[in-house]
Amino acid sequence: MEIKYFRLIKTIEEEGSIANSANKLFLTQSALSHQLRELEERLGFKVFYRKRNKWQLTEEGTELYKLGNSILESIEKGFQNIEQLRTGSVGTIKVSTECYSFYHGLSSFIQKMGLLYPEINVDLVLEATHQPISKILSNEIDIAIVTQKPLNEILSNVEIFEDEVFAIVHKENPLSKKEFLDTNDFSETHLIIHSFPLETVSVYDLFLKPNKITPLKISAIPLTEVALEMVDANMGIMCMPQWALKSFKLSDNLEFKRIGRDGLKRKHYLVFRKTDKDKNYINDFISNFEEAFSK
């Protein structure tokens, strides 16, 4: 039995007349009468007793009315659930990081997300760099990429991957002869960083600061290409993970040196508000990010 017949029975019963029902169903009275007659012929019994002022359900019609209500309510609830799922899969995600170097790995990922999930819009919020956690808490961004778990009960985090930061030196720099660089090696060097404050620079925050070492000279060069050219001219050293330099053509004069005997390793986390955990588009972003960067 087609859904339209259940709607027809429900409308006639609740409107009480063929004229009102026809208007509500956007049918002519003739078309509505024809559909009802067709239904009764198929069923082999009357659904309504025709009366002048009000149509009344037969016993069989009453059962159909109850059945129809149940079916129509289930359909409506199903569509509401589908709409909630669809709505939860659409949205804008504002992303930032605590370190500019991480943006080098995000462009290709965002391009991939755009192809796989055209209904999800990913915005990079550069202004929130260095302070992404506070920006999440103030609802200015939705996801932050950081290297330390935040201690806040309203935030959730997912560990994505671990990387290693290397010192990049010119092959004629005396430091290139060393197996690895220790803290004292930085005290007489020119360290090239992307930007201040120093606490956002991994080599300083995790390696030099705990040992109370400050490089002889520090220069902030926001363009990685320019920073690499300076190192290639033996004007200083810079520290970055190797993956962040994959898109750059590196000079043969450059060498990667481990920082510390065991290397300067750091873990990366995606941080987001707990209240966003049930949003499908947030989960789609996180799962794809894990797949792309855990490799």
Using a pLDDT cut of 90, give the percent of the chain over it: 70
pLDDT in tens, 6-22: 999 999 999 887 788 88
Residue pair 202/239 in contact by the 8 Å Cβ criterion: yes
**Residue 62 token pair:** 């009453």
pLDDT in tens, 95-128: 999 988 888 778 889 999 999 888 889 999 999 9
pLDDT in tens, 155-209: 999 999 999 999 999 999 999 999 999 999 999 999 999 999 898 899 999 999 9
What domains are defined for the chain?
Answer: 3-88 (1.10.10.10), 91-161+267-293 (3.40.190.10), 162-265 (3.40.190.10)
Is the per-residue pLDDT at 282 higher than 80? yes
**Residue 47 token pair:** 């659904």
Q: What is the mean pLDDT of the chain?
A: 91
Is the per-residue pLDDT at 53 higher than 90? no
Is the per-residue pLDDT at 86 higher than 70? no
Q: Please tell me the predicted confidence (pLDDT) of residue 87.
A: 64
For tokens 């690499």, the residue is: 228
Is the per-residue pLDDT at 85 higher than 80? no
Single pTM value for the model:
0.68
Is the per-residue pLDDT at 221 higher than 90? yes
